[in-house]
Structure 1
């Protein structure tokens, strides 16, 4: 899978842009603030309706304009598809494939698959549990696009249930029947989401071990082993994978914690409270891993994601956003060798010298709002 053409209208800093790309390595070189990351972010957003930079689509629309349009021609095997997304903050976005309107914007998710590695990925190791949950859910959706609907429905139920809990306060007998309905919906959707996360971690685990061995080849033997273990907010059997059984456990725990939830006005049970514990050797990575070990583990998570998606279909488009500046010469070379076999690698860098020779394919200079092939 690769992108052959990207066009933008009023996306981020670009009134317009038109970039034609080839398979293999493609580099966007430019000083900070020139817009190189905006280009790869547009491709990432088409892939999963999400960005590694912002949580809202408002900043994606150029200041002073009402909407942005992103189009990409994507080649998968011997087929080419034109993907289009119209971003309209405060209103419903619109999506098209080959000029045909999609009934739901989220139907665009996964048609183009991307894996992005950026300096912010250190949060996967050092950040809050929400960062690791987001990593899992984003990969889930790329792997199985229909789960975008499950995640959206769960988030909606969670918001509405929290609103009801806040309005009920300490009045324990207020709208109990209504709360029961939301409990059942939260448990049902949460059961499916947790079951899918657990299965994903099962499948990702071997790829993570292998990727980390490659990335941390120079580490001591007792620091090369890594694990990613799901920690539920409920007393769930660690071997349980059936979504209906998990939903039952969640519903029981929700009932047990109802008093606490009414007191605090918030949902205390569900996949939004779960954690993924990453370990290097015998110790949890968060709080114990060095800066270099954290970088290696974050990179291994992304490479494992790429390898998992590749094993189940075409290569995703691999995006390396401003990561080489963070690495020494040896690590740059190592990373370049690890990703060189991808069908398409999109690289952003402030200076051309930061990009290893193995990735010296097609190159663009990004400056003053223009994108010029070098």
Structure 2
């Protein structure tokens, strides 16, 4: 797939900016805080409807403007599509495909696929389990857009169940040991829904990790020159032996019974995919605790290259690659591994503060755009 055109209107620090991409590789050159990352963020939003930098649409709209918009023309193997995402300071965002508004945002997903790699991605290794869960979920949404709906439904159930558990805890704190029977019946209903929706989430996470892990291991061996062995383990909050809806649901329900007292005392749900983890080990040593900075960068690079390959395999076209000032974070050897892997296989948008990091052949074959306070010019 190929991003042919990107039009930003009152988005972040861009008042009105139209970019036509002319080559497979585009270098976005400029000092810090000029808007380079904002441009990549716009592409990320079109691909996932999420930003890794903010969860508030108000942050995305230019200064005091009421409405901001991201518009793109995406060329795929058999079609060309115009995508429009409209953001508002107040009110709900809207999406459109070829000027036709979509009632469900989920129908917008999958029109553009992109993998972003930034210095913040070291949090995949160093950060909390929530960072790794978010990473799995973002990947799943790209290769199976319906997963966005599945995850949304699970989170709805989780919020409702947590609200009820808080009510139960309050009753226990006030000495009302024998709460109304209807309360416990209601909790049993939420238990059942949590198990059903949680099963859908967990089974998909397990499947995608089973596909991604061997690809990442292969890249990791190549980058580390066969000196290190990466192991990736999906560690669900609930264990099961068979990828079967009923089996997984029952495993969740059994675990809920075991943790019943803890949940009542804490007033929150402690069983389910919102407590899942992904464990990375290098040469059988936990990468999060003991991996060096270089090892952690190698691991993240291997994961990103594996994402690219997996998405290409599933959707049948190479996704876009968004590189946010990562060359400065990588040593020369890792830079060369990354640039060699990209070649002309993936359309790549890469931000940098200077061109000296790039091989001259790479520079000559790239479109270079300079960015200065939301204004873009060809170099």
The TM-score, its normalising length taken from structure 2, stands at 0.93
Equivalent position of 1:57 in the other structure: 57
2:50, 2:375 → 1: CA distance? 25
Equivalent position of 1:155 in the other structure: 155
Mark the CA change 1:355 to 1:67 in structure 2 (over 3 Å): closer, same or farther: farther
Whether 2:19 is the aligned partner of 1:19: answer yes
Give secondary structure in 1 for the equivalent of 2:289.
coil
- Kept in 2: contact 1:324–1:332 (CA 8 A): yes
Equivalent position of 1:366 in the other structure: 371
Give 1:358 deviation, angstroms. Answer: 4.9
Equivalent position of 1:36 in the other structure: 36
Pick which of 263-272 and 104-113 moved more.
104-113
Pick which of 254-263 and 12-21 moved more.
254-263
Give 1:243 deviation, angstroms. Answer: 2.8
2:327, 2:113 → 1: CA distance? 22
Give 1:139 deviation, angstroms. Answer: 0.5
1:2, 1:265 → 2: CA distance? 49
Whether 2:325 is the aligned partner of 1:317: answer no
1:214, 1:32 → 2: CA distance? 32
Give secondary structure in 2 for the equivalent of 1:353.
coil
Gapped regions of structure 1 (runs ≥ 5): none
Task: Please tell me the root mean square deviation across aligned C-alpha atoms, in Å.
Answer: 1.5
Equivalent position of 1:266 in the other structure: 268
Mark the CA change 1:149 to 1:23 in structure 2 (over 3 Å): closer, same or farther: farther
Pick which of 84-93 and 183-192 moved more.
84-93
* 1:214-237 residue CA offsets vs partner (Å, 9 max, x unmatched): 2222x63xx2x1111111222x23
Whether 2:296 is the aligned partner of 1:294: answer yes
1:357, 1:248 → 2: CA distance? 59
Pick which of 325-334 and 340-349 moved more.
325-334
- Kept in 1: contact 2:312–2:318 (CA 8 A): yes
1:359, 1:310 → 2: CA distance? 23
Equivalent position of 2:339 in the other structure: 336
- Kept in 2: contact 1:3–1:23 (CA 8 A): no
Give 1:255 deviation, angstroms. Answer: 2.6
Gapped regions of structure 2 (runs ≥ 5): none
Give 1:147 deviation, angstroms. Answer: 0.6
2:59, 2:361 → 1: CA distance? 34
How does 1:132-281 map onto structure 2 within 5 Å? 132-169=132-169, 170=172, 171=176, 173-174=179-180, 175-217=183-225, 220=227, 223=228, 225-234=229-238, 236-237=239-240, 239-281=241-283
The TM-score, its normalising length taken from structure 1, stands at 0.94
1:116, 1:357 → 2: CA distance? 24
Give 1:345 deviation, angstroms. Answer: 0.6
Give secondary structure in 2 for the equivalent of 1:286.
helix
1:254, 1:89 → 2: CA distance? 41
Give 1:333 deviation, angstroms. Answer: 2.0
Give 1:23 deviation, angstroms. Answer: 4.1
* 1:8-67 residue CA offsets vs partner (Å, 9 max, x unmatched): 111111111111113411111110010011111100111001122223333112221222
Give 1:359 deviation, angstroms. Answer: 3.5
Whether 2:78 is the aligned partner of 1:74: answer no
